[in-house]
């Protein structure tokens, strides 16, 4: 690898007729992680994308909404840009294929192909809707399957028996637009002679630019033989007109990938502050190491048509095309009726973007297999990895440091070998990012997080706060742990850029890179810890699987009756009267929570370490797990029954009880107002 690469990276262009959904996000997140990794390593990495805005579906959708296609793509473009920004997708520029630069380039590519003898024309017979006055794409013709005779099937394939066929083979075909029987009409079409490029496409296939599975697929296609590609469509069509061919337009798939170059062109105009010429834009394209990220469904377009077009136009080819599989949700294809067709916006209304970034990264490899988003697994993984392991290191140690050591880091680390072990792991983690083996990078990082937690568990800094003799040791242990945490956040920065930036600010560390963490962070005072991430609870996922139209409010009758029966039980009758002597037998104290941990195999309990001001930390098991994230408890004051006889439980001895209000459903911990100190009596 050259020391400083000049990379141009693209994700496939989303079609501007609908919202971004979580299936799309696999690609943008996969690309963005790679882009951020390259930038983190000091490479120049330009990331561009654009809305794909042309074609019959957009023209018809605009007509349906009673707006112009320009108005439709303008609105959708803004929605897409906002979704991508909220998922921290770091485009240098997000444009639109409907721009003058793209029109110039599309015509230029066409002209050069034509002059090279790679364009041919011939008359084609095609289905035509005489009411709408429109040639019908296959998807807009419906009829009865010629093989299994199922009614209401599309013009290209049967969803019942899986047969593929031409629209002309359908029985009783009708236009999906008007319902009338299409007529056959002939028209002259322009074709790109793909077979002219067969040998160079074969060389491209063997050049290592593709994953082995993708290269195999290409070999199959090349062996079968390449046919001419129909690149024209008749008016009315929303797109760019073909020069010298009245009422003919470029098929949307011709100008879509050219949009990569047009978007770069527009970005360079902005960067240089002047309008580059077509020649300058063409030359600029050739200066980059180009990487396309795409889904497996558009491999043919990107690995055959696109390199052939580039060659015909005398433009540089991509260095690599990276193909990914599809996303399934809970093991099945995303579906509106199952409530698993989840848009980016719906997801963001309920859950943080970085949770999806992390989950997908933890599953993504360099292969083309589909990946599954199982929401039970999603919750378990986020809660265990990000909250339970990663953030746990920081929240425990930062709060101890602030409380007992003025928040000031030690002047040196007590365990340099452990620190170097973490630094050394950076090479392997970086290699995995480079090869898009994110799941392997995540696995290594989480093994290190386990190691850091083990270090803290063994050192037990929470037992040292009350003893002034041990405060130096506490400071050292917390400094060590926070440095390990900082290294992990640098490694996770491509996946969790927002949290990484917050951590950098919080630790007063200017930047967080693979290299900057080589110098330990010592000797300065850190800002008070702020909560970084929260656990995913039942309620955060309750919306998934709800029908997409939101119409079904009808709960099953049985559940409804049960809920109504429960309602009156909310107020518990008052207990019998007692005297003041009875009350004063209970020794209630203000206590500070110095540590809070989940208890394995006990899903209701948290294991609290309490400071009652007597220098002897106490362990109390509290049944509040359902209502409280352990992270949020550390440092806060609770009220503890200090003279309760110790109780032996399956997980250890509980030396007291914390007070909480509750109605059997919700739980609310009691505390003391600001100024109260641990050990104060409650009377
Ligand atoms: Zn069929």
Among 292, 305, 110, 108, which Cα is nearest to 198's? 305
Name the helix (H) or strand (E) containing 278: helix 278-285
Cα 156 to ligand 1 centroid, rounded to whole Å? 11
Cα 128 to ligand 1 centroid, rounded to whole Å? 23
In the chain, what are the domain boundaries? Answer: 6-108+253-324, 117-205+212-234, 374-518, 580-682
Cα 160 to ligand 1 centroid, rounded to whole Å? 5
State which CATH number among 2.40.50.140, 2.60.120.10, 3.40.50.10490, 3.30.70.20 fits the domain covering 580-682.
2.40.50.140
Among 359, 347, 364, 363, which Cα is nearest to 384's? 359
Cα 169 to ligand 1 centroid, rounded to whole Å? 12
Q: Quick one: tokens of 416?
A: 């340099």
Cα 165 to ligand 1 centroid, rounded to whole Å? 10
Cα 187 to ligand 1 centroid, rounded to whole Å? 29
Cα 632 to ligand 1 centroid, rounded to whole Å? 57
Q: Quick one: tokens of 192?
A: 């790109």
Instruction: Name every residue whose Cβ is closer than 8 Å to that of residue 372 and which is 6 or more positions away in sequence.
Output: 327, 328, 329, 330, 331, 363
pLDDT confidence of residue 553: 37
Q: Over pLDDT 70: what percentage of the chain?
A: 95
Cα 17 to ligand 1 centroid, rounded to whole Å? 28
Distances (CA, A) of 33 to 89, 355, 437, 439, 532: 9, 14, 11, 12, 20
Report phi then psi at 113, rounded to 5. Answer: -65, -40
Q: Strand, helix or coil at 305?
A: helix
Cα 162 to ligand 1 centroid, rounded to whole Å? 6
Cα 178 to ligand 1 centroid, rounded to whole Å? 23
Distances (CA, A) of 6 to 55, 337, 502, 589: 33, 45, 28, 63
First to last CA, the chain: 71
Cα 152 to ligand 1 centroid, rounded to whole Å? 10
54 burial (CB, 10 Å; 0-12 / 13-18 / 19+) is buried
Cα 180 to ligand 1 centroid, rounded to whole Å? 22
CATH of domain 6-108+253-324: 3.40.50.620
**Sign of the four-CA dihedral 141, 144, 146, 150:** positive
Q: In the block, which residue shows the tokens 């010629």?
A: 146
Cα 64 to ligand 1 centroid, rounded to whole Å? 30
Name the helix (H) or strand (E) containing 227: none
Instruction: Name every residue whose Cβ is closer than 8 Å to that of residue 673 and which is 6 or more positions away in sequence.
Output: none
Q: Strand, helix or coil at 185?
A: strand
Cis? peptide before 236, omega within 30° of 0 = yes
* 432, 438 Cβ separation under 8 angstroms: yes
Among 77, 71, 74, which Cα is nearest to 94's? 77
Cα 330 to ligand 1 centroid, rounded to whole Å? 28
Cα 614 to ligand 1 centroid, rounded to whole Å? 79
* pLDDT tens sequence across 354-370: 999 999 999 999 999 99
Cα 171 to ligand 1 centroid, rounded to whole Å? 11
Among 180, 218, 241, 222, which Cα is nearest to 299's? 218
pLDDT confidence of residue 2: 56
Instruction: Locate the DSSP E strands across 259-356.
Output: 289-295, 320-324, 327-329, 332-333
Among 173, 165, 127, 168, which Cα is nearest to 147's? 165
Radius of gyration of the chain (CA): 31
Cα 589 to ligand 1 centroid, rounded to whole Å? 75
Cα 172 to ligand 1 centroid, rounded to whole Å? 14
Cα 150 to ligand 1 centroid, rounded to whole Å? 5
* 313, 197 Cβ separation under 8 angstroms: no
Cα 8 to ligand 1 centroid, rounded to whole Å? 44
Domain 374-518 architecture? Orthogonal Bundle (1.10)
pLDDT confidence of residue 546: 63
Using 70 as the pLDDT threshold, list the residues of the chain that sit under it: 1-2, 546-574, 576, 663-665
pLDDT confidence of residue 158: 86
Cα 139 to ligand 1 centroid, rounded to whole Å? 15
Q: Quick one: tokens of 343?
A: 């848009």
* pLDDT tens sequence across 611-638: 888 878 888 988 888 788 887 788 788 9
Name the helix (H) or strand (E) containing 681: strand 681-682
Name the helix (H) or strand (E) containing 147: none
Q: Strand, helix or coil at 232?
A: strand
Cα 77 to ligand 1 centroid, rounded to whole Å? 37
Cα 151 to ligand 1 centroid, rounded to whole Å? 8
Domain 117-205+212-234 architecture? Beta Complex (2.170)
Pairing state of beta strands 602-611 and 618-622? antiparallel
């Amino acid at each position: 690898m050259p020391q400083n690469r000049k990379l141009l990276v693209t994700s496939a262009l989303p079609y501007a007729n609908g919202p971004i959904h979580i299936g799309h996000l696999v690609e943008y997140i996969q690309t963005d992680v790679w882009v951020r990794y390259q930038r983190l390593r000091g490479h120049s990495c330009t990331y561009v994308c654009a809305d794909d805005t042309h074609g019959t579906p957009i023209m018809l959708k605009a007509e349906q909404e009673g707006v112009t296609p320009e108005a439709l793509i303008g609105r959708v473009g803004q929605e897409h840009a906002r979704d991508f920004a909220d998922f921290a997708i770091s485009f240098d520029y997000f444009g639109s294929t409907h721009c003058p630069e793209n029109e110039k380039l599309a015509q230029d590519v066409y002209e050069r192909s034509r002059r090279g003898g790679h364009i041919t024309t011939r008359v084609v017979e095609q289905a035509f809707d005489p009411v709408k006055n429109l040639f019908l794409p296959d998807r807009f013709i419906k009829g009865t399957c010629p093989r299994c005779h199922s009614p209401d099937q599309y013009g290209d394939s049967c969803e019942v028996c899986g047969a593929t066929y031409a629209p002309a083979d359908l029985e009783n075909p009708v236009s999906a637009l008007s319902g009338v029987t299409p007529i056959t009409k002939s028209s002259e079409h322009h074709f790109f002679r793909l077979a002219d490029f067969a040998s160079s496409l074969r060389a491209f296939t063997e050049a290592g630019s593709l994953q082995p599975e993708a290269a195999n697929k290409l070999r199959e296609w090349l062996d079968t033989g390449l046919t001419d590609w129909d690149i024209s469509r008749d008016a009315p069509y929303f797109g760019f007109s073909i020069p010298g061919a009245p009422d003919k337009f470029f098929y949307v798939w011709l100008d879509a990938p050219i949009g990569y170059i047009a978007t770069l062109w527009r970005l360079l105009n902005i960067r240089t502050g002047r309008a580059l010429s077509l020649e300058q834009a063409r030359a600029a394209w050739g200066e980059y190491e180009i990487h396309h990220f795409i889904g497996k469904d558009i491999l043919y377009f990107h690995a055959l048509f696109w390199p052939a077009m580039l060659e015909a136009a005398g433009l540089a080819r991509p260095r690599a095309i990276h193909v990914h599989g599809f996303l399934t949700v809970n093991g099945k294809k995303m579906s509106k009726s199952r409530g698993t067709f989840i848009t980016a916006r719906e997801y963001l209304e309920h859950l943080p973007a970085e949770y999806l970034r992390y989950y997908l990264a933890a599953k993504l490899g360099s292969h083309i297999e589909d990946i599954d988003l199982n929401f039970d697994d999603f919750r378990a993984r986020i809660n265990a990895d990000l909250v339970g392991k990663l953030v746990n290191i920081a929240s425990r140690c930062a709060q101890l440091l602030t409380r007992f050591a003025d928040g000031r880091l030690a002047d040196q680390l007590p365990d340099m070998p452990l620190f170097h072990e973490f630094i050394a792991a950076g090479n392997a983690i970086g290699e995995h990012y480079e090869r898009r083996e994110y799941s392997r990078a995540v696995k290594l990082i989480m093994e290190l997080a386990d190691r850091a937690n083990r270090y803290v568990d063994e050192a037990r800094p929470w037992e040292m706060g009350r003893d002034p003799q041990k405060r130096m040791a506490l400071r050292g242990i917390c400094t060590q742990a926070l440095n390990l945490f900082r290294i992990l956040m640098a490694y996770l920065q491509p996946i969790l850029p927002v949290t990484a930036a917050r951590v950098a600010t919080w630790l007063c560390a200017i930047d967080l890179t693979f290299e900057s963490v080589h110098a330990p962070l010592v000797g300065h005072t850190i800002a008070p810890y702020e909560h970084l991430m929260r656990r995913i609870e039942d309620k955060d996922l309750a919306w998934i699987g709800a029908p997409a139209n939101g119409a079904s409010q009808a709960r099953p009758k049985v559940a409804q009756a049960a809920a109504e029966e429960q309602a009156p039980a909310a107020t518990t009758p008052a207990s019998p009267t007692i005297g003041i002597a009875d009350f004063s037998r209970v020794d209630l104290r203000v206590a500070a929570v110095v540590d809070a941990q989940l208890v394995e195999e006990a899903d209701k309990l948290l294991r609290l370490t309490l400071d009652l001001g007597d220098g002897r930390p106490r362990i109390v098991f509290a049944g509040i797990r359902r209502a409280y994230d352990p992270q949020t408890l550390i440092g806060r004051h609770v009220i503890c029954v200090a003279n309760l006889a110790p109780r032996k439980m399956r997980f250890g001895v509980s030396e007291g009880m914390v007070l909480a209000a509750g109605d059997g459903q919700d739980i609310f911990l009691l505390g003391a107002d600001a100024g109260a100190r641990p050990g104060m009596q409650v009377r």
